[in-house]
Amino acid sequence: MKYTTLPKTDIKVSKICLGTMTWGNQNTQDEGFAQMDLALDNGINFFDTAELYPVPAEQKTYAETERIIGNWFEKTGNRDKVVLASKIAGTGDYTAHIRTNGFSKDALNDAVNNSLKRLKTDYIDLYQLHWPERQTNTFGVRDYNHITNDPWTDNFNEILHNLDDIIKSGKIRQVGISNEKAWGTMRYLEESKTNDLPRMVTIQNAYSLLNRVFEGDMAEVAIREDIGLLAYSPMAFGVLSGKYLNGKAPDNSRLKLFPRFARYSSDNCTEATKRYLKIAEDHNMTLAQMSLAFVTDRPFITSNIIGATSLEQLEENIESVNITLSDEILKAINEVHADIPNPAP
Task: Give the pLDDT confidence of 301-312 residue by residue, as tens digits.
Answer: 999 999 999 999
Report whether 15 contacts 3 (CB < 8 A): yes
Express each pLDDT in 14-24 by its tens digit.
999 999 999 99
Catalytic residue ranges:
53
Q: Annotate 51-109 with DSSP letters as a single string.
A: TTPSSSP-GGGTTHHHHHHHHHHHHH--GGG-EEEEEE---SGGGTTT-SSTT-HHHHH
Please state the domain extents for the chain. 3-238+298-324
Is CATH 3.20.20.100 the right assignment for the domain spanning 3-238+298-324? yes
Report the phi/psi class of residue 250: left, alpha or beta, with left for phi > 0 and alpha for psi in -120 to 50: beta
Task: Give residue 261's pLDDT.
Answer: 67
Structural element, H or E, at residue 229: strand 228-232
What CA–CA distance (Å, rounded) separates 288 from 320? 8
Sign of CA pseudo-dihedral 279, 281, 284, 287: positive
pLDDT at 256 over 60: no
Bond preceding residue 56 cis, omega within 30 of 0: yes
Tell me: pLDDT of 279 over 90.
Answer: yes
Would you state the pLDDT for residue 178?
98
Q: What does pTM read for this prediction?
A: 0.96
Cβ neighbours around 142 below 10 Å, total: 9
Across the range 246-269, mean pLDDT stands at 72
pLDDT at residue 251 in the model: 63
> For 156-181, b where at least 16 C-beta lie within 10 A, e where not — what string?
bbebbebbbebbeeebbbbbbbbbbb
Question: How high is the pLDDT of residue 44?
Answer: 98
Q: C-alpha angle 298/301/305, rounded to 5°?
A: 115
Tell whether the model's pLDDT for residue 38 goes beyond 70. yes
Q: Can you tell me the distance from the alpha carbon of 170 to that of 7, in angstroms, rounded to the nearest whole number?
A: 20
